[in-house]
Structure formats: C-alpha cells, structure tokens
Amino acid sequence: MLIFPKISLKPEVTEYLKSVFMNKEVLAAAGPQDAECRFQKLLTCLSHPPSYTCVRASTHLAPLEEIHDKLGEELKRQMSSSSDNHIQILPHPQVTDVLLLPVNGPRPVKQLSSEVVVGAQCGNAVLRGAHVFAQGIIASPKYMKVGDMVSVFSDLDGNCTRGATTFQGKKVFVGNGVAEMDRSSIFCNSEPARGVGIRMVEPLYQSPSFDGVLPSLTFLQNLPSVVVGHVLGPRPGERILDMCAAPGGKTCHIAALMGDQGEVVALEKSRNKIERICRNAHMLNLRSIKTFCFDSTQAVSSDPAQLTEGPPFPPESFDRVLLDAPCSGLGQRPNMAFSFSLKELRSYQPLQRKLFHAAVRLLKKGGVLVYSTCTITLAENEEQVAWALHTFPCLTLQPQVKPIHKRIQRLQRSASDSRSPPWQEPHLGAEGMLGAGLSPEQLRLLQRFSPELSWDQTADTGMDPRRADCDTIGFFIAKFLKK
C-alpha cells in the first residue's frame, strides 16, 4: 500500500537517475512508457520498507532448525504482552543460513496529539522494527514524562531544531510508542542520553525488535548482503580479503562459511569501525578474522618480498577478495530523503576504480573477486563491470550459483520452489541493467536486486518467502575469476 511519498531527491539527482533508467538501450528494449513506469515505481518503493525482515543464522554454531526454534521462543517472550504476538519465521527456500520474518504493514494506527520528532535515519530504523533511541530524538512535547503515549514522526528534510517542542515542517508518521525517558533526560546538556527513549508499541510497520535477541546466533542482514558471502564461496583453509569491511556483517559471514578455518583479513580506514568489526567477530565466536585499520587503495606493497603480517600485502596474497565498495547507498530501504548533490552522487566511481586496481593485484591467479554495492546507479554497477573487463584482461565474469547445504533440506522442503533444482541456489536477483554496453550473456551473469521490478503498492504481502528475493534493498553483485 502507498503510505509514504516518493523518496525526496535534489532536482538534478532526479534528472540524472531518470536519464539512467531511461537510457537509449533501455528505451529500445522496453519503450518509453514501461521505462518511465519502472523509474516512478523505483522512487516510490525506495521510501517503503521491504516486506520481510532477513536474519542470518549462525549455522557455524548451531543447526538452522535449532536457531529457528530458539528465535521463535525468544520473540514470543518479547511480545508476550502484545495482543498480536503471533510470530511466523520462515526458512529461505534456497539460501541455507537465512530466516525470514514477514513484516505486517502498513497497519491502521491512529495518530495522537502528543508528537515526538526523530531524525530520518532513526525513522527508517523504526520502520524496520527498531525502538527509538534517545540519540535519535530531535523534538518532544514540553512536559513529556516516562509512560506518556506519543506519536513518532520522522523529519524528512532535517529542518527540525534539536530540543524543539513542536515541528510543522515536512514529516511522516511512523507509529506510536511509550516514553521511556522524560524530556529533561533526553535533552540534558551535561552528556548525551543513552538507551531507548521511546518504546514502539503501535508501529506503522510491525516487525520484531532484535535488540539483544540471540546475539551470537542471529544477525540482522539484508538478503542481498547474505547472498554476497555465498557468491564469494569461501572454503576452509583459504586466505580471504574483505577490503571495505565495516560494520563486519559480511566479514563474519565469510568466516562462518569457512567454518572459521583459514584467515579472513578485514581492512577499514576508521578505527571506530574496526572496533565494531572486532565486537561482531567476538560475539559470533569467530577467531579467523584479523582486522587492520588501513586504506585499501594502498593495500598492495611495492616490495613483493614483504613478509609482514599486516598491510600493505605483496601482490597475489589472497585466494578470494570481496570488494563491497563504498557507494552512494541509493538502494537502501526505507529511505524517504536522499540529501546528496549530483557531484556527491558521482564521486564514488573513481574511488571504486582505485579499489578495483588494488583488488586485482592482491588476488591470486585462479582466485575469485566479488564486487558489490548497495546502490542502483549504472555508473557504480554495470559500468564498473564493463570498465573492469576492458581494463583487466585477466578477469572473466562467472556464474553466481553454489551447492546447497543438505542438512537443512528437511526444514526447507515445504517452502521449496519445485522449479529450482535442489542441488543449486538460484540466481536470486534480476540480471544486469542495459546501458553499459555489456552483452546479454554478460548481463545474465550479474545480479541486480531491483525492487521496483516486482513492487506493487496494492499487493498483500502474504506469506510467500519467494517474494523476499525481489522485495529487497537495491543491490548489485558481480563475480570475477582471475585467469
């Protein structure tokens, strides 16, 4: 159901994206009307949350069946006081370590007269099931106290003044909650308030909060981000590089897929982000991860004889490399406002290419390089693939399928798509987008998760887990082999 306006973009960004999604190749294949319809659907679906919450299960620590049951018990306890405490958890039909929770929404929630305003990022998190943390609150009623029922609104354009008592600017309603702190505690001048400020009890989109829920056995992660680890296909004993590793979800997934046997080197420029990767690895009981605060564009040593453990590394040091590149992030959902200028939006391609040069040099011959982004632009996705194939003759595109894990077939069997062979994961995303000069065969080897291709504002979400493959964030994956 259409409940929010289309994503708010600067006019020049809107025009740029429109030119991308209505480029000559697209228009020749689909026609102006269909191309325009796809673009408008994209702008609308980006402001709405996906219809499923995706949880990656730590199957290196426990069987999926056991994690499934424990998660169900924990969420029932969490929602014991709610009248709507039915939790459905579905195993993904093909991805072996994913559990799916249908999102219920938008729900008929009545707005209250007492209003709290939160930042856009906080509002987006609420739509994915989070409570409101004190740091995200920008405005609240003058006399708000603990226990007050309030309506929560998201400030779309960032114009609300911190500490305000009312706000009449552009905002959207995301649900009702109970104040866990009074106003004076939230806006205390001595030090920033910490913890939950508003506990959501009537969210517009109902999805369980995962704050503190089975932290060693479950990890909230968008489905395409989980698919990346499987596409990389790490094997026990290998040495693998994650070039832009924060916050560490993919790093930890790689280590888990290897059975924590081998070495996963995680590079990140920010010291604070490195600490978060370490916390995640410790929480998930993974010991094969080694973290370094380092700029990955400089990660190749000019001295091939260098033998130090950390970066820079000699050329051809890694069996597999993941380049989950810094990007414009335009595929993230829900996102009601994107503040980047066109110059900022287009600034990522040169950085991604510098990282690509380092990645290819660090990869062994016969090794696998996976490139991924969480954005929708052609310049950061298919154009980068075309550039890489032209710049590095040693690279060839590879299919993105892998063997399926047999131990969970019993749990999956009732949900399996009979059209898919039981011994392979299907190619979950759509093929690459036209416009970069790639051949049809090359486009079919790519995975572009394009929520606008299947998104229907009038559709009932139902309980079909196959919809989770389409109704995701916007994402892109390419897999290369170095000859």
Give the lowest-confidence range in 73-77, 138-142, 371-375. Answer: 73-77
Average pLDDT over residues 448-462: 72
**pLDDT greater than 70 at residue 81:** no
**pLDDT greater than 50 at residue 252:** yes
Residue 456 confidence (pLDDT):
64
**pLDDT greater than 80 at residue 185:** yes
Contacts of 156 (CB under 8 A, 6+ apart): 8, 120, 169, 170, 171, 172, 336, 337
Average pLDDT over residues 455-468: 62
| Pairing relationship of beta strands 475-482 and 395-397 according to DSSP bridges | antiparallel
The 10s digit of each residue's pLDDT in 303-351 is 866 667 899 999 999 999 999 999 999 999 999 989 999 999 999 999 9
Specify the higher pLDDT residue, 78 or 124: 124
Average pLDDT over residues 267-285: 93
Share of residues in the chain with pLDDT > 70 (%): 90
Contacts of 195 (CB under 8 A, 6+ apart): 133, 134, 180, 181
Q: Which residues are catalytic?
A: 374
Q: For residue 141, with 0-12 CB atoms within 10 Å meaning exposed, 13-18 middle and 19 or more buried, which class applies? A: middle
Specify the higher pLDDT residue, 404 or 195: 195
The 10s digit of each residue's pLDDT in 422-433 is 334 457 999 999
Q: How far from 440 is each of 31, 417, 428, CA to CA, in Å?
A: 18, 26, 17
The 10s digit of each residue's pLDDT in 377-415 is 999 999 999 999 999 999 999 999 754 443 334 433 333
Contacts of 453 (CB under 8 A, 6+ apart): 38, 430, 470
Residue 376 confidence (pLDDT):
97
Tokens of 174: 């995301």
Residue 79's pLDDT band (boundaries 50, 70, 90)?
Answer: confident
Long-range contacts of 291-296 (CB under 8 A, 24+ apart): 291/245, 291/266, 291/267, 292/265, 292/266, 292/267, 292/268, 293/268, 293/269, 294/267, 294/268, 294/269, 295/267, 295/269, 296/243, 296/244, 296/267, 296/269, 296/355, 296/358
CB count within 10 Å of CB 266 equals 28
Residue 407 confidence (pLDDT):
37
pTM of the full structure: 0.91
**pLDDT greater than 60 at residue 69:** yes
**pLDDT greater than 80 at residue 292:** yes
Residue 459 confidence (pLDDT):
52
Most confident residue range from 212-221, 291-300, 453-462: 291-300
Residue 304 confidence (pLDDT):
66
Residue 22 confidence (pLDDT):
97
Residue 463 confidence (pLDDT):
60
Q: How far apart are CA 337 and CA 47, in angstroms?
A: 8
The 10s digit of each residue's pLDDT in 209-241 is 888 899 999 999 999 999 999 999 999 999 999
Residue 329 confidence (pLDDT):
97
Residue 2's pLDDT band (boundaries 50, 70, 90)?
Answer: low
Specify the higher pLDDT residue, 36 or 188: 36
**pLDDT greater than 60 at residue 352:** yes
